[in-house]
Amino acid sequence: MSAFIDFLGGLSLLAGSAFLLFGGLGLVRMPDIFNRIQAGTKTTTLGTLLTLLGAAMLHPEWSLKLLLIGVFLIFTNPLSSQVTACTAHYRGIKKSSLTKVDRLADDESESMEKSVSKNPDSEHKDKEEAEL
Amino acid sequence: MNNILIGIAILLAISMIGAAVVAIRVKRPAIAILAAGMISLFASILFLFLAAPDVAMTEAAIGSGLTTFLFFFVLGRVRGDEHD
Amino acid sequence: MVDLLIILAAILAGGAFLFALWRFLLGPTRLDRVVAFDVLTIVSITFIVFAALIEKRGIYLDVALVYALLSFLGVIAIARYLGDRF
């Protein structure tokens, strides 16, 4: 039974590293910055969590520390990717022709249409502050 | 030290050289600061592989965290007369 | 058997590290390099976990916790600097 759990932990380590490898491959191959943020952050989050799970299966006495690292990664990693994507959007980095969806630009155009009577610059600045 | 750890250490050393080249060749100061922080981050992993976790933790906290944050704070203050 | 799996996993993580290093060295914009830095630190956390598994010392995982914190702080600092919000 213990050998089986060890084998399962090794397989989980291998799967996590494979996800990391695919994330790095997406980081090289994707056409623009937004796709690179997607590939570089989502995949590496799952890969690191699988690796931590495999380490917890191999050494059950480390589970508390590994759980702490996993919870911390779950909280911080999407936050950093969101801040990076917001900065890329507000700096006006061009999307490639393959990137179709930009919900933040849609929201901004909607709120500009709604607040056409107000000063649009202050509205944009407030929204920008709220986003970050 | 295991063979696989020696391989990872060689990879980290090569990437430290690459980050140093980036830090002296890049035009903008922000990426130079980031690359300098990355060098000390990888140096702390090398300290860890040499079985010194306390040195590694101090190096990571001071060399990478505090220095990078301080440089970005000062660079944000002096942004007005920035000559690239 | 488990040792072989750990070696294979470390080789795959090394490949991920090489890809992210490629993007860090040749990134066209600055934010590309920031994302590559994020991926490099996360792969480094995986390296630390492998080192702890190989050397069988649980104290190494504390450094991994500090690493997760520092990667986050560095990316937030540079993103706020580049977004003119310091």
Annotated domain spans of chain A: 2-94, 101-132
Residue B68 pLDDT > 60: yes
Look up the pTM and report it: 0.86
Domain housing C58 = 2-82
**Hey, of B6, B15, B73, B77, which one would you mutate to test binding to chain C, going by the most C CBs within 10 A of its CB?**
B15
Considering only CB atoms, B34 lies closest to which of C34, C70, C73, namely: C34
Please check whether residue C76 touches B, CB under 8 A: no
Residues A84, A37 contacting (CB under 8 angstroms) = yes
pLDDT tops 70 at residue A113? yes
Structure tokens at C52: 């702890």
Percent of chain A topping pLDDT 70: 86
Cα separation, C36 vs C19, whole angstroms: 9
Range in A106-120, C38-52, C69-83 with the lowest mean pLDDT: A106-120
Model ipTM value: 0.88
Q: Of A96, A126, A91, A95, whose CA–CA distance to A108 is shortest?
A: A126
Q: How far apart are CA C32 and CA C18, in angstroms?
A: 15
Q: Phi, psi (5° rounding) for residue A30?
A: -70, 150
Find the residue in C nearest to B23 (Cα).
Answer: C25
What sign results for the dihedral spanned by CA atoms C17, B60, B64, B20? negative
Task: Name the residue ranges covered by the structural domains of chain B.
Answer: 3-81
Q: Read off the tokens for C21.
A: 């290093």
CB neighbour list of residue A64: distance below 8 Å, 6 or more residues apart: none
Interface residue A14 vs chain C (CB under 8 A):
yes
- Please tell me what DSSP assigns to residue B35: H
Q: Look over chain B and give the mean of its residue pLDDT values, rounded to a whole number.
A: 86
The more confident residue out of B1 and C52 is C52
| CA angle in degrees (0–180, nearest 5) for A115-A119-A125 | 90
Tokens of A107: 């929201």
Number of domain units in chain C: 1
